Structure 1
Amino acid sequence: MIKTLNLPCKGSKFFLGKAEGPRPIKTKGVKMDLSLTRPDDWHLHLRDGDLLGAVVSHSAHHFGRAIIMPNLKPPVMTTAAAVAYRESILKALPENSDFTPLMTLYLTDHMSPNEIKLARRSGVVFAVKLYPAGATTNSQDGVTDLFGKCLPVLEEMVEQNMPLLVHGEVTDPEVDIFDREKLFIDTILRPLVQKLPRLKVVMEHVTTLDAVRFVESCIEGSVAATVTPQHLLLNRNSLFQGGLQPHNYCLPVLKREIHRQAIVSAVTRGSKQFFLGTDSAPHERRWKECPCGCAGIYSSPVALSLYAMVFEQAGALDKLEAFTSFNGPDFYGLPRNTSKIRLSKAQWRVPESYAFESGEIVPMFAGQTLEWRPSTMD
């Protein structure tokens, strides 16, 4: 078992924050607290219907804002649909919540450049999501030919300063699933950045050393990446240890240990090009534990605890706040949050599941004990 699959080690050394690092505060009976600017989640799936109502409070409790993914059934392809979905989210929020959903559009071969203008004028749509057709959950309506069919839309996105969020995998079934991110970078993403250097691009849920190197080779402020807790903590062994582990199955799939280490190094050394994006993706237990289980890991309730674990183990707690709270809004050109959240060094046990009307959802690290617990501050 690799070191980072263990529960957090006791007695880890605390590194005092720098000017913009987390500020330690004293609380009676608690070993250590960190005060952080309230984080945002720059990659979140909230689904709809009963599932939306079951999961939205977990994100709203910890995060100030979140970029909401548009891969519903049917997908959110228009500004009008994004506005309607936003209203559904707001209605499902707990009373007095100030959580702000930042909406996205689902890019298709047939999207019009005028839709990008409408999206910018709406004030509620903040990005467009590229799903290569067939790459992941509900991506069957995604793009089949980015340069041949979507170039006018991409050019309008440059004019409107609208970021493109990329699920970075090719979908050719002849390509090994563990090589699909690298090939996407080489054949699509690198040519795209060269062709449209003013287009802001976020490579979502990076999983490889190749992705880290690509992002770091690009101009800061033009290309960035979100990083999930699972790709920081787990490698592909986690899919099979103790039997097949369906709740560790996500897309892009977990990779080799060398890639996990590269991602940890990128985020914990303080690069401004990487920021928090959970890719929290709830599915009912029955659809995860079936012969053809869904891809996606539900991490919203535990994400901040897990990110803190990663930074503590790397001796980089002073870099945590920038990753969780500063780099994302700075890239999007949005103000940083002004409220605070507390991370306490206090053990808590992750529930085995969360029940809702139609079934139950199993969270990441279900049943395990974590050592950092987030809470709001008065």
Structure 2
Amino acid sequence: MTEYEKKITIIKPDDWHVHLRDNKILKKVINYTGKFYARALIMPNLDDPITNCFKSISYRNRILKSMNWNYKFQPLMTCYLTDRTIPEELEIGFLKKIFIAAKLYPYCSTTNSKKGVKKISHITHILERMEKIGMPLLIHGEEVNKSIDIYDREAEFIKNTLDPLRNCFPKLKIVLEHITTKESVEYIKKYGSNYLCATITPHHLILNRNDMFSGGIQPYLYCLPILKKNIHQKALRQAIASGNKHFFLGSDTAPHLHKDKINFFGCAGIFNAPSSLLSYVTIFEEMQALKYLQSFCSENGPKFYNLPINKETITLIKKPLKIKKRISVGNNIIIPFLSGKILNWSLEN
């Protein structure tokens, strides 16, 4: 068997952290996710956040309407938590499967988070209800405080917020999303359980903060949480290579138009949907850990969310693939992650 005939067949993966935006951008980016993934957990931080059942149903319908009819794809919706979230509506949404989980954005922590939660104490009654009904809490885990260095926000969040939160609500299911630090890896390895897991993105596995400033500032590598030192990158790579079932795939693909990335106040986010799964395969191969690829991509996530594992499979072939340099959206463009780069893996057919 030659290098270009090498194939890997795994259960079709799910992406447990996806931003699709809305309108023209949604219609342009959705099929990149649908091509590789059977299900995706849709983040609710639109310009008008998804804060109730009605908005969630409407957004889900827009997603399905935008999807290529050839793809068997299921969007899994989440609720944006605010100080005004009504626990009864959250419970109804969860029990009727309108919501799979609820998302906690600390105030001003990332894109469209100005309606996020300023203090955890403001939503204690909501978290009590979520713990009672078994509804997962998804957390953008950064402590937002001007006195805290941006590179330390994640570690400070674990110490100041996550640990006390877990002590108060020991049976609240929590996903620490898009982790980026050695501290987070060690925390999940120590406390990971049916009540605590974490997602890891391809860009935090492939890159470290040196890449963001290589040859001049690289605005398309600006994301939140921000890229960290290589010691943290190595910890993330070792975590997925260990086969630990408490880590799973969450790409945090986040499209922004070129004009919004290249701006006085450039937006944070990396659009990696065209290459995310192929990037994960590349990393697992580099780490000599392909035996854990399927569990990370296709099994650990559904088990945490108490959902069935997909029956469909997907085949990846060792064949070069060039990532598009740009994607047109009307009169604008989106520059994808690894724009113009050649990857060693492709999707069969």
TM-score w.r.t. the length of structure 1 is 0.90
The equivalent residue for 1:124 is 98
Q: Which runs of 5+ in 2 are unaligned?
A: none
Structure 2 CA distance, aligned partners of 1:374 and 1:330?
Answer: 25
1:29/1:237 CA distance change after superposition, 3 Å:
closer
Task: Name the residue aligned to 1:187.
Answer: 160
1:142 paired residue among 108, 116, 119: 116
Q: Is the 8 A contact 2:45 2:112 kept in 1?
A: yes
Tell me how far 1:119 sits from its aligned partner: 1.2
Paired with 1:370 and 1:240, the residues of 2 have a C-alpha distance of: 22
Q: Does 1:245 align with 2:245?
A: no
User: Equivalent residue for 2:19?
Assistant: 45
Structure 2 match to 1:105: 79
Residue number in structure 1 paired with 2:305:
332
Compute the displacement of 1:223 (Å).
0.3
Q: What letter is aligned with 1:360?
A: I
2: CA distance, partners of 1:30 / 1:238:
29
The residue aligned with 2:132 is 159
Match of 1:230 in 2: 203
Pair 1:356-2:306 in alignment: no
What's the offset of the Cα at 1:86? 0.4
Matched, 1:291 2:273: no
CA RMSD of aligned residues (A): 1.2
User: Identity of aligned pairs, percent?
Assistant: 41
- Aligned position for 1:75: 49
The residue identity in structure 2 corresponding to 1:124 is I
Deviation at 1:224, TM superposition (A): 0.3
Paired letter, 1:269: S
1:62 to 4, 13, 36: 36
Return 5+ residue gaps in structure 1 as ranges.
1-25
Structure 2 residue matching 1:137: 3-state secondary structure: coil
**Partners of 2:181 and 2:236 within 8 A in 1:** yes
The 4+ residue runs of structure 1 with deviation greater than 2 A are 28-31
Q: How does 1:355-374 map onto structure 2 within 5 Å?
A: 355-374=328-347
| 1:276 equivalent in structure 2 | 249
In structure 2, the CA distance between the partners of 1:29 and 1:186, relative to structure 1 (3 Å rule), is closer
How far residue 149 of structure 1 moved from its aligned partner, in angstroms, is 1.1
**Relative to structure 2, which stretch is displaced further, 286-295 or 322-331?**
286-295
Higher relative contact order (CA 8 A, sep 6+): 1
TM superposition shift of 1:219: 4.3
Please state if 1:115 is matched with 2:89. yes
What corresponds to 1:36 in structure 2? 10
Distance 2:240 2:89 in 1: 34
In the TM superposition, what is the alpha-carbon distance from 1:30 to its structure 2 partner? 3.2
Q: Indicate the SS of the match to 1:123.
A: coil
CA drift of 1:97 comes to 2.3
Is the contact made by 1:79 and 1:122 (CA closer than 8 Å) also made in structure 2? no
Amino acid corresponding to residue 88 of structure 1 in structure 2 = R
Moved more, 119-128 or 81-90: 119-128
Q: Residue 10 of structure 1 aligns with which residue? A: none
Moved more, 136-145 or 122-131: 122-131
Please identify, of 353-362 and 38-47, the stretch whose mean Cα deviation from structure 2 is larger.
Answer: 353-362
Counterpart for residue 211 of structure 1: 184
Q: What does the per-residue CA deviation read over 1:60-104, in whole Å, with 9 as the maximum and x for residues that have no partner?
A: 010000000000011101111111110110110112321000000
Check conservation: 1:62, 1:375, Cα contact below 8 A. no
Whether the 8 Å contact between 2:271 and 2:337 is mirrored in structure 1 is yes
Query: Aligned partners of 1:253, 1:223: CA distance in 2, in Å?
Result: 22
CA distance in 2, matches of 1:107, 1:341: 35
Q: 1:33 to 1:118 in 2, by over 3 A?
A: same
Please say if residues 50 and 358 of structure 1, whose CA atoms lie closer than 8 Å, have aligned partners that are also in contact: no
TM-score with structure 2 setting the length? 0.98
Checking the alignment, whether the CA contact within 8 Å between 1:116 and 1:160 is kept in structure 2 is: no
Indicate which of 204, 214, 239 corresponds to 1:266: 239
CA contact (8 A) 2:3 2:318 kept: no
- 1:206–1:225 contact (8 Å) kept in structure 2: yes
Alignment match, 2:61: 87
Give the deviation of 1:116 after TM superposition: 1.7
Contact kept? 1:82, 1:105, Cα under 8 Å: yes
Verify the 8 A CA contact 1:165 1:204 in the aligned structure 2.
yes
Match of 1:347 among 320, 333, 337: 320
Q: 2-side partners of 1:128 and 1:203: how far apart?
A: 12
Answer whether contact 1:78 1:115 (CA < 8 A) is retained.
yes
Moved more, 366-375 or 225-234: 366-375
Q: Match of 1:197?
A: 170
